[in-house]
Amino acid sequence: MNLKIASSNLNQTPLAWEKNFSNIRNSINDARKKNVKILCFPELSITGYSCQDLFFNSWFIKKSEKYLKKIVKLCDGMTVLIGHPLKYSGKLYNAVSIIKNKEIKGCFIKSNLPNDGIHYEKRWFEPWRLGEIKEHIFDKKKVPIGTIQYEFSDSLTLGFEILGIRGNNPQSTIIILDKDKYKLVEQGENITNQISFSHVEGSRAYFFDGKDYSFLDIIGAEKSFNQDRIDLIKE
């Protein structure tokens, strides 16, 4: 399968709803011209990340939902992953919606919330219980939400994680998705007696076997410097 996947790193501003929407729309249009089939946006792309206590306001969440619906209408002929706050069962979550052909197919919710330095996500969001899947109604349709995977095609399944990793901090954690398995790994923890999790840079998790580093794509265990290294961490 020849599949073009792209990411869009936006400089979003709290309360600048039209500007943020325009940035997202322009990125989608640009990706479509380049024949991108899967376009990934950062977490909280609709609202901007640093909205702080604005997240407590119901009008703010409703405004985000309004713009999510507008974005859904733009996603024709491609799959778009877009970050936004999600109100579910009276609690607020940091989520990413999977949109394909103008329809929300599911919503992945963040489990590991950073809560130090400049990050205070636990003040505004609830951590999702890892592995749990529920149903939520988007535009009168039930969709799965939680620790979901998405069957993009018969030969491709997408797995997700929204990460707040702090480099070499000893308390850093990462979730590795290997097909149908999730594994929570802490800094320095041995995956086997041969390899241990080291740190994260960008979208890659790095591992150290005492001599050399190897890496895995955070959203899946399909790509690495060395396929043999992947075999070492499979359960």
List pLDDT tens digits, range 115-149: 776 678 999 999 998 889 999 999 889 999 998 88
Between these two residues, 179 and 37, which has the higher pLDDT value? Answer: 37
Q: What is the pTM of this model?
A: 0.69
So what's the pLDDT on residue 202? 55
Confidence of residue 220 (pLDDT cuts 50, 70, 90): very low
Q: Is the pLDDT of residue 232 over 50?
A: no
Residue 200 and residue 207 in contact, taking contact as beta carbons nearer than 8 Å: no
Q: Is domain 5-159 classified as CATH 3.40.50.300? A: no
Across the chain, what does the average pLDDT equal? 77
List pLDDT tens digits, range 1-28: 578 888 888 889 999 999 999 999 999 9
Cα dihedral 86, 12, 116, 187 in deg (nearest 10): 90
So what's the pLDDT on residue 1? 57
3-state secondary structure (DSSP) of residue 234: coil
How many beta carbons lie within 10 A of that of residue 35, not counting itself?
12
The mean pLDDT of 63-84, rounded to a whole number, is 95
The mean pLDDT of 63-74, rounded to a whole number, is 97
Domain with CATH 3.60.110.10 in the chain: 5-159
